[in-house]
Amino acid sequence: MEVICHIRCNDKYWEKLNIYEEWVCHKNQYDYYKQVIKIWDEELKIKHLTFRKQIRDIIINSIIDTGSFDTILESNQHCKKYFENRTSDNITFFQQDDDDIFLFLPELHDLQPGINIFQYSSLDPLGGRRKRGYKTRKELDKVQSNQCIIYNTGKPLDINKHHLYEADHTAYDRLKEDYNYYSKDYPFTIQLYHIHSISVWKHQLKFSPFNYTERDTFLKYVVEYINELEQLYKNNKNIPQLKTIVDLYKNLF
């Protein structure tokens, strides 16, 4: 059985800012992102896209170092091409973003044919998207891709048919309607909410009382984020690569 990891992202996205078309259509929203990124690039020591690429390198190298996967598909385009001439039979398939933390691969004998749904863990230093801090919960609604593993034996789930190479975070909710799924009582990944994330800034635009397009407000937020992230590391030193990520954030100043 081939064990595959798909890194969910567009190919070489770090070379040019890429924002969802439907978000670009909202002028005020798009202008907000551009202003935030402009302040980032002018005031911080690492450019926004360069920083995202450096976080990506940390995460992918840590996944490679575990030796857990036979194949790592490093973009959506790579994943699509890989399955064009291959079946989805007899594989173990896992997807995550390139800025989340991979803890370990569960033992294959602990997996069941179909979709295995594990507990969801998130690390959100300032509560930009989730509850503030390091949280773990059992979640069977709005299931995230990075808390699932497809164990393709029996009735295989076709990767190409369901366009999983471009699946959004909650695509697995739809798959649950047609395929067997099983709940597991532990997490194996952590979704880390970064301040380089456009979706975090989308959330701040809608819900925060602060205007982060103001230089001082933005920089204060970045400092607070780094301080909280460092404290979370001190309280959770067993999380792989978290210290390396904290050190990279500290290099922003």
Each residue's pLDDT tens digit, 67-81: 999 999 999 999 999
Q: What is the pLDDT of residue 18?
A: 73
Q: What is the pLDDT of residue 166?
A: 92
Q: What is the pLDDT of residue 81?
A: 96
Q: What is the pLDDT of residue 54?
A: 98
- In angstroms, the CA 156 to CA 153 distance is 6
> Average pLDDT per run of 10 along the chain, which is 253 residues long?
96 83 74 93 97 98 97 97 94 97 96 95 89 86 90 89 88 89 95 93 87 96 97 96 97 98
Domain coordinates in residue numbering, the chain: 2-250
Structure tokens at 95: 């997807």
Phi and psi angles of residue 181, each rounded to the nearest 5 degrees, phi first:
-140, 155
Q: What is the pLDDT of residue 23?
A: 65
Structure tokens at 242: 């978290």
SS3 184: coil
Order of strands across the sheet with 2-8? 71-73, 2-8, 91-97, 148-152, 114-117, 181-183
SS3 136: strand
Q: What is the pLDDT of residue 155?
A: 76
Q: What is the pLDDT of residue 139?
A: 65
Q: What is the pLDDT of residue 237?
A: 95
Each residue's pLDDT tens digit, 78-117: 999 999 989 999 999 999 999 999 999 999 999 999 999 9
